[in-house]
Amino acid sequence: MNKRWTVGLIASMLFAGSFIMPAETAEASRLDELQQEKNQLQDRSSEVQKEIQDREKNMRSLAEEKAQLENEVADLQRKIDDLVRKLQEQQEKLDETIAEIERLKKEIEKLKEQIERREEKLANQARAVQTQGDPNNMLDIIVSAESLSDLIGRVGLVNQIVTANKNIVIEQENDKKALEETEAQVQAEKEQIEKIKAEMEVDRNNLVASKAELDDKIIQVAEMYQMNEEEKKSFVQEQQVIAQKTSTLDKEMQKEQQRIIEEERKRQAAIQKAAEEKARKQAEVQAAAQSKSSSASQTSSSSSSSSSSGFIRPANGYKTSNYGYRTHPIYGYKKLHAGLDISGGGPIVAAQSGTVVQATYNGGWGYYVKIDHGNGLQTLYAHMQAGSLRVAPGQKVSQGQQLGIMGTTGASTGVHLHFEVYKNGRTVDPAPYLGM
Mean pLDDT for each 10-residue chunk of the chain (436 residues)? 43 43 58 84 89 89 87 85 84 84 81 77 62 52 62 60 67 78 83 84 80 84 87 87 88 82 78 66 56 38 54 93 81 82 94 96 93 96 94 96 95 92 96 90
Do residues 20 and 117 both lie within one domain? yes
What is residue 15's predicted lDDT score, i.e. its pLDDT? 42
Q: Are 313 and 434 in contact (CB under 8 A)?
A: yes
Its pTM stands at 0.37
- Residue at a domain's end among 302, 330, 347: 302
CA-angle at 392, arms to 387 and 393, nearest 5°:
140
Measured distance CA(115)–CA(108) in Å, rounded: 10
| Neighbouring C-beta atoms of residue 378, cutoff 10 Å | 21
Do residues 293 and 316 both lie within one domain? no
Do residues 322 and 277 both lie within one domain? no
Tell me the CATH number at 420.
2.70.70.10
What is the biggest distance separating any 2 CA atoms in the chain, rounded to whole angstroms? Answer: 202
Do residues 273 and 387 both lie within one domain? no
Q: Rounded to 5 degrees, what are φ and ψ at 203?
A: -60, -45
Do residues 366 and 432 both lie within one domain? yes
Do residues 65 and 190 both lie within one domain? yes
Measured distance CA(434)–CA(430) in Å, rounded: 7
- Residue at a domain's end among 261, 277, 302: 302
Do residues 323 and 279 both lie within one domain? no
Do residues 384 and 401 both lie within one domain? yes
Do residues 363 and 297 both lie within one domain? no
Residue 223: exposure state from Cβ atoms within 10 A (0-12, 13-18, ≥19): exposed
What is residue 158's predicted lDDT score, i.e. its pLDDT? 54
Query: What range does the domain containing 408 cover?
Result: 307-436
Inter-residue long-range contacts of 184-188, CB under 8 Å, 24+ positions, other chains counted = 186/97, 186/100, 186/101, 186/104, 187/101
Residues contacting residue 273 through CB under 8 Å, at least 6 positions apart: none
What is residue 416's predicted lDDT score, i.e. its pLDDT? 94
Do residues 267 and 369 both lie within one domain? no
Inter-residue long-range contacts of 219-226, CB under 8 Å, 24+ positions, other chains counted = 221/62, 221/65, 221/66, 221/69, 222/66, 224/58, 224/62, 225/59, 225/62, 225/63, 225/66
- Residue at a domain's end among 302, 325, 351: 302
Do residues 105 and 235 both lie within one domain? yes
Measured distance CA(96)–CA(189) in Å, rounded: 11
Do residues 22 and 52 both lie within one domain? yes
Tell me the CATH number at 294.
1.10.287
Number of domain units in the chain: 2
What is residue 18's predicted lDDT score, i.e. its pLDDT? 42
Rg (CA), the chain: 61
Q: Are 370 and 420 in contact (CB under 8 A)?
A: no
